[in-house]
Chain A
Amino acid sequence: MSDALGSLTSFGADADDCLRMVDLTKIYGDTVAVQSVNLSIKRGEIFALLGSSGCGKSTLLRMLAGFETVTSGQIFLEGEDITQLPPYKRPINMMFQSYALFPHMTVEANVAFGLKQEGVVQPEIHERVFEALELVQMSPYARRKPHQLSGGQQQRVALARSLVKRPKLLLLDEPMSALDKQIRRNTQIELVRIIEQLGVTCFMVTHDQEEAMTMANRLGVMTEGQIKQVGTPQDVYAFPNSRFVAGFIGSTNLFSGTITIDESDHIVIESDALTRPLFVSHGVSEPLGMEISVSLRPERLQVLRHQPDGDFNWAHGMVSHMAWMGSYALYQIRLDSGKTVEASVPSLLLTQAEPPGIDDEVYVSWHHEAVTVLTS
């Protein structure tokens, strides 16, 4: 352990990188679980890898922890190649999805376990264990067994256990999936506070986009073993680069159309689904006549009773469904083309005017900046 830590020398692309994956690939039989992933995580960053089940994110995480062997490619931690190191020699600790607390040990013994393996002397173990338990506000429960704790308390112990060794990298596997929905939000914020307080670099995988957006500085969207897009939560939400990402992060309305006017400062896209063409206030690299996709977020759509001014960026339809969600109302509007679009309207707007109801004729319109052109 100590010599693995001692020989940490800095070589590699960026001195700020904590973790770097180079062409990381995992193949089971004839299934490619993870395909040529290249990704760098900066020191002190909280990175979330987002994807649905079976997308390969868990396999990637298990390769980082050392539980899965790597088919090809390399993993660098602080510049050192750890690809072939067994899990117990990696300065990486993981908070498991179901916490994996040792049921036969007390909270204190669970947290002390890692330090004991390291050969830390007893007084220091005691001190560091209580420091860690203090951090997660679990020190009054030190002598309890895991099954005497609530789910939230078990999670805190699991966090303390994974932080007590001061790992160079903290892995979180679906950190909130075992918690009730009500306490998730607070726990997410609390978790981020603790991680940032310690400044530990954190790599998490989750299928919950809300969780990823709440917790992460940067996120990556993964599907079929490949990472489709990496960026800040705001960027990925506002500028998804593909139909998949646009549909996966938040809900969206996707249209396909053809470029009919291609200027350097704007383009116009004709779509069969819409009454009027789309006007986009920036140029694209795609040529005239090219079939492309666009994304319109539901919250960027306005629902109007009267026909909007202008020749672009609106469509005519009928309300087919409406659901009150509390802070907003979700409208499903069936356009004349037969395509259904979703629009979310803030409740505040609905209380001011007579809101359109089911089967009412409406117009949906949007600002030209709301249109996101998807390149794939």
Chain B
Amino acid sequence: MIGSFFSRLKQSGFWVIAPPYAWLVLFLLVPFLLVLKISVADLNFGIPPYTSLVDLSDNVLTFTVHLRGYALLFSDSLYLMTYLSSIKMAAITTVCCILIGYPMAYYIARTEGSLRHLLLLAVILPFWTSLLLRVYAWVGILRNDGLLNNFLIWMGLIDTPLEIYRTDLAVYIGLVYAYLPFFILPLYANLVKLDARLLDAAYDLGASPVRAFLAVTLPLSLPGVVAGAMLVFIPTVGEYVIPEMLGGADTLMMGRVMWSEFFTNADWPMASAVTVIMVLILLVPLVVLQMNQKRSFLSETKGGQ
């Protein structure tokens, strides 16, 4: 019995996938459970700055679950506004990445030979410098006395500097700039696999290039678009550095709230509650998407008979 269990583990390549799973459990699941634990604690002066979940004193074992953080989350409209604002900013960033990134990925995938590698390299190249430096560069560009404004004034197009720095627009520019490669790369990987003969078949059957794109390329590239969009949307919701460096005081984003709860207010339970709800918000669309894909996969394999 046990022998057959182990042989099945061996067959399924268990030992090959074990290290990444161990990594995920150790560095993703365990920290998240810790955060979950802290989120139901109460503020406490001392080290650590929160009450413990389990307490044993006078032969009494007590579990104490504080919901102060969650209660505050749902009662204070600031938090709700911040969630909505984060999701809105992430959504707009994602849409911008799709609009800019799709043609880029498409063009790169259609390019032949060494030029393709050059273009891909250009997409990956920004990763060679730290994100922090690149965002600082945007500060230099967008500031009132920055490169962009100086250039526009020198051209005579404007008289007074454009107020971009420390606005939501600057945050959008920074976010789209930073996350565009994450959209392009998975979509490129999808588009480059697309069988060119399918397009030939579409033309052969009377579809103009535009209609062939809409009927064949676009639907077949949707998995790439979804994967890229997820890679942009999920980290953008919790993004801290870019809104902090480029956004104004009124730019509401989850990352900044978490930061200030943790480090300014030293309110760990509150910060944890904010985090837990954010993870849930991100998890729900992911699970729905996963179920959707599973269902369509099952219906495909079972057949429409």
A interface residue numbers (CB < 8 A to B): 1, 65-67, 86-89, 92-94, 96, 98, 100-104, 106, 113-114, 117-118, 140, 143-145, 147-148, 161-162, 165
Contact B304 A100 (CB under 8 A): no
Instruction: Sample 26 A-B pairs with CB under 8 A, ordered by A number.
Output: A66-B203, A67-B203, A88-B204, A88-B205, A88-B207, A88-B208, A89-B206, A92-B204, A94-B201, A96-B197, A100-B195, A101-B201, A102-B201, A102-B202, A102-B215, A104-B220, A113-B202, A113-B205, A113-B207, A114-B205, A117-B206, A143-B303, A144-B304, A144-B305, A147-B300, A148-B303
Residues of B within 8 A of A114 (CB): 205-206
**Which of A88, A114, A161, A165 has the largest number of chain B CB atoms within 10 A?**
A88
Residues A104 and B305 in contact in the complex (CB < 8 Å), given A1-B206, A65-B204, A87-B204:
no
Compute how far the CA of A47 lies from the CA of B206 in the bound complex, rounded to whole angstroms: 24
Out of B195, B200, B205, B303, which one reaches A117, CB within 8 Å?
A: B205
Compute how far the CA of A177 lies from the CA of B184 in the bound complex, rounded to whole angstroms: 37
Out of A66, A100, A106, A140, which one reaches B201, CB within 8 Å?
A: A100
Residues of B within 8 A of A145 (CB): 300, 303-304
B209 (CB) vs chain A CBs: closest residue? A88
In the assembled complex, how far is the CB of residue B292 from the closest CB belonging to chain A, in whole angstroms?
A: 15
Q: In the complex, which range does the number of interface residues on chain B fall in?
A: 20 to 34
Residues A117 and B211 in contact in the complex (CB < 8 Å), given A87-B204, A103-B220:
yes
Contact A87 B197 (CB under 8 A): no
Interface status of B219 (Cβ within 8 A of chain A): yes
A149 (CB) vs chain B CBs: closest residue? B303
Interface status of B178 (Cβ within 8 A of chain A): no
Excluding A143-B305, A145-B300, 11 further A-B contacts by CB distance (< 8 Å) are A65-B200, A67-B203, A88-B206, A88-B207, A98-B197, A103-B198, A104-B219, A113-B202, A113-B207, A114-B205, A148-B301
Interface status of B67 (Cβ within 8 A of chain A): no
B212 (CB) vs chain A CBs: closest residue? A88
Out of A100, A102, A165, which one reaches B206, CB within 8 Å?
A: A165
In the assembled complex, how far is the CB of residue B225 from the closest CB belonging to chain A, in whole angstroms?
A: 14
Residues A67 and B205 in contact in the complex (CB < 8 Å), given A102-B216, A144-B304:
no
Compute how far the CA of A145 lies from the CA of B216 in the bound complex, rounded to whole angstroms: 15
Residues of A within 8 A of B208 (CB): 88, 117
In the assembled complex, how far is the CB of residue B204 from the closest CB belonging to chain A, in whole angstroms?
A: 5
In the assembled complex, how far is the CB of residue A199 from the closest CB belonging to chain B, in whole angstroms?
A: 21
Compute how far the CA of A64 lies from the CA of B7 in the bound complex, rounded to whole angstroms: 57
